[in-house]
């Protein structure tokens, strides 16, 4: 039986061609469950779609089967209605369900008009995946109405209708369609590349196991797909081979330096040996108070709902965790004020450790939004210490990502909730705002874990033997 191709196949193929192969030939029980955060994004996307069309005048296609839906869509197109919602388009092995078809003046088999496709997305930007899906709908439209439209449209998260030209990416679309058919017909597969975009993919564990088995080059931190392809062209097939090279052995390409090559080589050595490599011993300023700081933020609401801080008093050998939590989005100012009160209580003898750059941008945004004593703010900024560059300058670890969770796991730290993460925390906060009070404790537990992991990392770095 011929496999039906849909817009979802194009979305997945653009993101990762290997994913399309896995979707087709692997068993479902190999997948990890979809995260609660991704489920909520899907639900929000459906709500956004309804909201985006609520003020439009359209004819809606209601159907039980694709065949019925296509027949009803075709009838409405023949009648020349201005806007058709929830359409179904069919041509040979292609099945498209654009959110809207909009009538335009011109020539087609229907007469002095034709239709263009509009898709509604919950993202803000005109992503390539979105464009390819609309081009797919446009291609089917061209077959049905005897005229290929020049434009497609995406309605984004801001309900802005963004037009784009079909022709620049039409050849790439045709190539993708050919490759998708080859995946379905003869089992063609495409090389995978592990990256941060894999984090929400349900096949991530399958690909990671395969990459580890093959010693794949994409296991190396910050080695791009382009870099992997260049190394493969130089007959460097895996991390074992790379670990045996000197930087001078590798032919450089545009945008890469000997220093970058050297980092990849030493990272490959660490992975092959399954052991950390110490480059230097970092030094830390001695203060009475050491603060370990993490922030939870909600991008859609544009707020930070939790400032979490562990305060370690080195004189009294004590630690206390302070969660400053926003019970409502409007309580963000109280989170900021309570945090400032804590800082001012420590006088001038403290340092604040954190991991990666979000905390700095949040502090700046809070100052601009709510104000504060400028001396206090300057004191905070002056005493911030980001552990991320300290890690990457001084040690090489046998891990695939230098985010805090894999580092902490390598150091033996155990998270209370294995599914916890920044995006999951946003989902928990949305559930809390809907009245599920138990999620507050789950969010705070995750934040406290993050602060404790930062503390564990700082102590490990300080005690390195070099």
- Ramachandran angles phi, psi of 302, nearest 5°: 70, 35
What is the pLDDT at residue 1? Answer: 57
Q: Domains plus CATH for the chain?
A: 7-186 (3.90.320), 215-275 (1.10.150), 289-462 (3.30.420.10)
Pairwise CA distance, residues 125 & 131, whole Å:
11
Per-residue pLDDT of the chain (466 residues; tens, 9 = 90+): 579 999 999 999 999 999 999 999 988 888 988 888 778 878 888 888 898 898 889 999 999 999 999 999 999 999 999 999 999 999 999 999 999 999 999 999 999 999 999 999 989 999 999 999 999 999 999 999 999 999 999 999 999 999 999 999 999 999 999 999 999 998 888 778 888 888 889 999 999 999 999 999 999 999 999 999 999 999 999 999 999 999 999 999 998 999 999 999 999 999 999 999 999 999 999 999 999 999 999 988 899 999 999 999 999 999 999 999 999 999 999 999 999 999 999 988 999 999 988 999 999 999 999 999 999 999 999 999 999 999 999 999 999 999 999 999 999 999 998 888 888 999 999 999 999 999 999 999 999 999 999 999 999 999 998 7
What is the pLDDT at residue 348? Answer: 85
What is the pLDDT at residue 347? Answer: 81
Pairwise CA distance, residues 358 & 294, whole Å:
9
Half-sphere exposure of 216 (CA within 13 A, CB side): 18
DSSP-derived secondary structure letter, 109: T
Burial 95-129 (b: 16+ CB within 10 A, else e): bbbbbbbbbeeeebebeebbbbbbbbbbeeebbeb
Strand pairing partners for 117? Answer: 101
**Residue found by looking up tokens 């991991």 in the block:** 355
Pairwise CA distance, residues 415 & 78, whole Å:
60
What is the pLDDT at residue 91? Answer: 97
Pairwise CA distance, residues 416 & 418, whole Å:
6
Tell me if 106 sits within 8 A of 67, measured CB to CB.
Answer: no
């Amino acid at each position: 039986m011929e496999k039906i191709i849909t817009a979802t196949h194009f979305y997945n193929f653009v993101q990762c061609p290997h994913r399309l192969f896995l979707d087709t030939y692997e068993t479902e029980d190999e997948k990890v469950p979809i995260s609660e955060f991704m489920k909520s994004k899907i639900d929000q996307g459906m709500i956004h779609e309804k909201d985006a069309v609520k003020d439009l005048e359209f004819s809606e296609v209601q159907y039980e089967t694709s065949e019925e839906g296509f027949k009803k869509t075709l009838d409405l197109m023949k009648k020349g209605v201005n806007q058709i919602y929830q359409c179904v388009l069919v041509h040979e092995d292609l099945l498209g369900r654009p959110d809207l078809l909009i009538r335009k003046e011109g020539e087609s088999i229907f007469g002095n008009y034709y239709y263009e496709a509009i898709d509604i997305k919950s993202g803000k930007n005109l992503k390539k995946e979105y464009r390819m899906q609309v081009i797919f709908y446009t291609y089917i439209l061209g077959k049905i109405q005897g005229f290929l439209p020049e434009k497609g449209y995406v309605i984004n998260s801001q309900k802005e209708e963004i037009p784009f030209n079909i022709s620049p990416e039409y050849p790439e679309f045709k190539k993708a369609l050919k490759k998708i058919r080859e995946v379905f017909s003869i089992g063609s597969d495409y090389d995978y590349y592990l990256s941060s975009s894999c984090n929400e993919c349900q096949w991530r564990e399958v690909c990671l196991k395969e990459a580890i088995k093959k010693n794949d080059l994409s296991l190396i931190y910050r080695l791009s797909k382009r870099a992997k392809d260049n190394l493969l062209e130089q007959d460097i097939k895996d991390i074992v081979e790379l670990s045996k090279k000197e930087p001078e052995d590798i032919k450089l390409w545009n945008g890469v330096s000997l220093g970058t090559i050297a980092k990849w080589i030493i990272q490959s050595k660490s992975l092959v040996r399954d052991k950390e490599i110490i480059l230097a011993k970092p030094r830390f300023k001695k203060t009475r108070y050491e603060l370990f700081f993490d922030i939870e933020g909600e991008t859609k609401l544009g707020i930070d709902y939790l400032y979490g801080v562990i305060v370690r008093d080195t004189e009294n050998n004590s630690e206390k965790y302070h969660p400053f939590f926003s019970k409502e989005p409007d309580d963000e100012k109280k989170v900021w004020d309570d945090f400032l009160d804590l800082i001012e209580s420590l006088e001038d003898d403290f340092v604040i450790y954190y991991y990666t750059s979000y905390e700095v941008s949040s502090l700046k945004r809070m100052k601009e939004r709510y104000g504060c004593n400028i001396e206090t703010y300057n004191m905070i900024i002056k005493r911030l210490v980001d552990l991320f560059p300290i890690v990457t300058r001084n040690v090489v670890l046998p891990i695939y990502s230098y985010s805090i969770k894999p580092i902490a796991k390598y150091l033996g730290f155990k998270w209370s909730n294995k599914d916890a993460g920044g995006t999951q925390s946003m989902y928990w906060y949305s559930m809390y705002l809907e009245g599920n009070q138990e999620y507050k404790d789950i969010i705070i537990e995750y934040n406290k874990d993050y602060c404790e992991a930062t503390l564990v990392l700082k102590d490990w770095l300080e005690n390195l033997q070099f």
